[in-house]
Amino acid sequence: MSIIDLLPSETPIKAFPPGEVVFTQGDPGGVMFVVIEGEIDVLLDGKLIETVRSGSVFGEMALIDACPRSATAISRTRCLLSPIDEMRFQDLIVREPEFALMVMRILARRLRRMDVAH
Protein backbone atom coordinates (compact mmCIF):
# COMPACT_ATOMS: atom_id res chain seq x y z
CA MET A 1 0.00 0.00 0.00
CA SER A 2 1.22 3.52 -0.75
CA ILE A 3 0.29 6.92 0.66
CA ILE A 4 -1.61 7.57 -2.57
CA ASP A 5 -4.07 4.80 -1.68
CA LEU A 6 -4.88 6.54 1.61
CA LEU A 7 -5.89 9.86 0.03
CA PRO A 8 -9.65 10.46 -0.04
CA SER A 9 -11.19 10.53 -3.52
CA GLU A 10 -11.99 14.26 -3.27
CA THR A 11 -8.27 15.14 -2.82
CA PRO A 12 -7.24 17.99 -5.18
CA ILE A 13 -4.46 17.27 -7.69
CA LYS A 14 -2.26 19.90 -9.38
CA ALA A 15 -0.15 19.41 -12.53
CA PHE A 16 3.36 20.91 -12.79
CA PRO A 17 5.43 21.11 -16.00
CA PRO A 18 9.10 20.02 -15.79
CA GLY A 19 11.45 22.59 -14.23
CA GLU A 20 8.81 24.43 -12.21
CA VAL A 21 9.66 25.60 -8.68
CA VAL A 22 7.06 24.19 -6.27
CA PHE A 23 8.49 26.12 -3.32
CA THR A 24 11.74 27.84 -2.37
CA GLN A 25 13.94 27.41 0.72
CA GLY A 26 12.93 30.06 3.27
CA ASP A 27 9.34 30.39 1.99
CA PRO A 28 6.55 30.08 4.56
CA GLY A 29 5.28 26.47 4.68
CA GLY A 30 1.72 25.32 5.37
CA VAL A 31 1.30 22.66 2.68
CA MET A 32 2.97 19.32 2.01
CA PHE A 33 2.72 17.41 -1.27
CA VAL A 34 2.11 13.79 -2.18
CA VAL A 35 3.75 12.89 -5.50
CA ILE A 36 1.05 11.12 -7.53
CA GLU A 37 3.13 11.01 -10.72
CA GLY A 38 6.57 12.27 -11.77
CA GLU A 39 9.75 13.24 -9.92
CA ILE A 40 10.61 16.19 -7.69
CA ASP A 41 14.16 17.36 -6.97
CA VAL A 42 14.78 18.65 -3.44
CA LEU A 43 17.70 21.07 -3.15
CA LEU A 44 19.40 22.34 0.00
CA ASP A 45 21.46 25.49 -0.63
CA GLY A 46 21.39 24.66 -4.34
CA LYS A 47 22.65 21.08 -3.82
CA LEU A 48 20.42 18.14 -4.81
CA ILE A 49 19.73 16.09 -1.67
CA GLU A 50 16.88 13.88 -2.86
CA THR A 51 14.66 13.04 -5.81
CA VAL A 52 11.14 12.28 -4.54
CA ARG A 53 9.09 9.85 -6.59
CA SER A 54 5.49 8.68 -6.91
CA GLY A 55 4.01 7.50 -3.60
CA SER A 56 6.30 9.60 -1.43
CA VAL A 57 5.90 13.09 0.04
CA PHE A 58 7.87 16.31 0.34
CA GLY A 59 7.38 19.63 2.10
CA GLU A 60 6.08 17.81 5.19
CA MET A 61 8.58 19.44 7.56
CA ALA A 62 7.32 23.01 7.17
CA LEU A 63 3.79 21.69 7.63
CA ILE A 64 4.58 19.70 10.76
CA ASP A 65 6.64 22.29 12.64
CA ALA A 66 5.31 25.51 11.04
CA CYS A 67 8.84 26.73 10.24
CA PRO A 68 9.94 28.15 6.85
CA ARG A 69 10.79 25.73 4.01
CA SER A 70 14.07 23.95 4.78
CA ALA A 71 14.74 23.22 1.08
CA THR A 72 13.70 24.10 -2.48
CA ALA A 73 11.53 21.73 -4.54
CA ILE A 74 11.58 21.72 -8.37
CA SER A 75 9.77 19.34 -10.73
CA ARG A 76 12.29 17.21 -12.64
CA THR A 77 9.57 15.83 -14.94
CA ARG A 78 5.92 16.66 -15.51
CA CYS A 79 4.30 16.01 -12.12
CA LEU A 80 0.92 15.44 -10.60
CA LEU A 81 0.98 16.56 -6.96
CA SER A 82 -1.65 16.45 -4.27
CA PRO A 83 -1.27 19.40 -1.87
CA ILE A 84 -2.14 18.56 1.76
CA ASP A 85 -2.76 21.53 4.05
CA GLU A 86 -2.82 21.35 7.84
CA MET A 87 -6.55 20.63 8.12
CA ARG A 88 -6.37 17.83 5.56
CA PHE A 89 -3.20 16.50 7.22
CA GLN A 90 -4.76 16.31 10.68
CA ASP A 91 -7.90 14.79 9.19
CA LEU A 92 -5.81 12.11 7.43
CA ILE A 93 -3.98 11.24 10.66
CA VAL A 94 -7.29 10.75 12.48
CA ARG A 95 -8.98 8.82 9.66
CA GLU A 96 -5.93 6.85 8.50
CA PRO A 97 -3.40 6.23 11.32
CA GLU A 98 -1.33 4.34 8.72
CA PHE A 99 -0.80 7.69 6.98
CA ALA A 100 0.95 9.03 10.12
CA LEU A 101 3.18 5.94 10.21
CA MET A 102 4.09 6.34 6.53
CA VAL A 103 5.04 10.00 6.99
CA MET A 104 7.08 9.06 10.08
CA ARG A 105 8.87 6.35 8.11
CA ILE A 106 9.79 8.88 5.42
CA LEU A 107 11.10 11.30 8.07
CA ALA A 108 13.08 8.52 9.76
CA ARG A 109 14.60 7.43 6.43
CA ARG A 110 15.65 11.02 5.70
CA LEU A 111 17.18 11.33 9.17
CA ARG A 112 19.15 8.11 8.72
CA ARG A 113 20.48 9.35 5.40
CA MET A 114 21.51 12.64 7.03
CA ASP A 115 23.15 10.73 9.90
CA VAL A 116 25.21 8.73 7.42
CA ALA A 117 26.19 11.87 5.51
CA HIS A 118 26.96 13.60 8.81
DSSP state of 62: H
Residue 32 near residue 89, CB atoms below 8 Å: yes
d(CA 34, CA 84): 8
Identify which of residues 16 and 41 has a Cβ nearer to its own copies in the complex. 41
Q: Does 104 bind its own copies (CB under 8 A)?
A: yes
6 binds its own copies (CB under 8 A): no
Binding residues for its own copies (CB under 8 A): 44, 60-61, 64-65, 67, 70-71, 90, 93-94, 97, 100-101, 103-105, 107-112, 114-115, 117-118
